Each structure stands twice: as structure tokens, then as C-alpha cells.
């Protein structure tokens, strides 16, 4: 009845929690290639946002979990909202790559 007051149902983790999960998750970096050329988190799969959203079934399946990262967390949140509506099990990474302070950066 009061769906406009519904809390955001997108699952998320903080960027500071990422390192402890890296070996267990499917991490997708949706930044553009000019952004990832400056560095990305080891083990991430690089698929730009528009590419992923135009053909999600090519990169995702509905049985697995995926963690979506961008530069600040805003594009990943938008992407997660869309993918969630399509039935994919996705987590937004709050803070994004720009806030990452771990040691798993590949340049």
C-alpha cells in the first residue's frame, strides 16, 4: 500500500569489506576502459555498465551472486537496481574503487 516508503531493497557491502570476500565472490567492475586502465581490483571482471545492461545474460546467470563496483558507488547502485528487477542476485559495493584502500590493485 505504501510502496513509496519502501526501503531500498538493493543488497550492498562497504568497500572496506571487499578484501575479506575477494576470493569468494564474482566481482564485476563496470567502469569504462579509460578508468580501469589506471587500476582495478585483482580478480575483477571488467564489463562496462552499458555493455552489461545491454546484454546481462551474456555475463550473468540468475543462480549466482555478483558484486558490482564502479568508481564511486553511484553507477553500481543504478546497475544493481536494474539487474535486481531483471531477477539477478547482485550486491552494490558502496564507496567504489575511488575509496578502495586495500592491497589488491593491479595497474
89: phi then psi, degrees, rounded to nearest 5: -95, 95
State the pLDDT at residue 8. 56
Strand, helix or coil for residue 77: helix
Domain spans of the chain, in order of start: 7-102
The pLDDT tens digits for 21-39 are 999 999 999 999 999 999 9
C-alpha cell at 83: 539487474
Give every CB contact of residue 32 below 8 A, 6+ residues apart in sequence: 48, 49
| pLDDT band per the 50, 70, 90 thresholds, residue 107 | confident
Q: Is residue 76 scored above 90 in pLDDT?
A: yes
- Rama region for 12: left / alpha / beta (φ>0; ψ in -120 to 50; rest): beta
CATH topology of domain 7-102: Oxidized Rhodanese; domain 1 (3.40.250)
Closest CA to 14 of 104, 107, 105, 100: 100
State the pLDDT at residue 20. 93
The share of the chain scoring above pLDDT 90, in percent, equals 89
DSSP 8-state code for residue 18? S
State the pLDDT at residue 7. 52
Give yes or no for a contact between 30 and 68, defined as CB atoms under 8 angstroms apart.
yes
Amino acid at each position: 500500500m505504501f510502496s513509496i516508503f519502501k526501503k531500498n531493497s538493493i543488497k550492498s557491502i562497504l568497500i572496506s569489506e571487499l578484501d575479506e570476500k575477494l576470493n569468494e565472490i564474482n566481482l564485476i567492475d563496470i567502469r569504462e576502459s579509460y578508468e580501469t586502465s589506471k587500476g582495478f581490483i585483482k580478480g575483477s571482471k571488467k564489463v562496462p555498465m552499458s555493455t552489461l545492461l545491454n546484454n546481462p545474460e551474456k555475463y550473468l546467470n540468475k543462480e549466482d551472486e555478483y558484486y558490482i563496483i564502479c568508481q564511486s558507488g553511484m553507477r553500481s547502485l543504478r546497475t544493481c537496481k536494474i539487474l535486481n528487477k531483471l531477477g539477478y542476485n547482485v550486491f552494490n559495493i558502496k564507496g567504489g574503487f575511488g575509496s578502495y584502500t586495500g592491497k589488491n590493485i593491479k595497474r
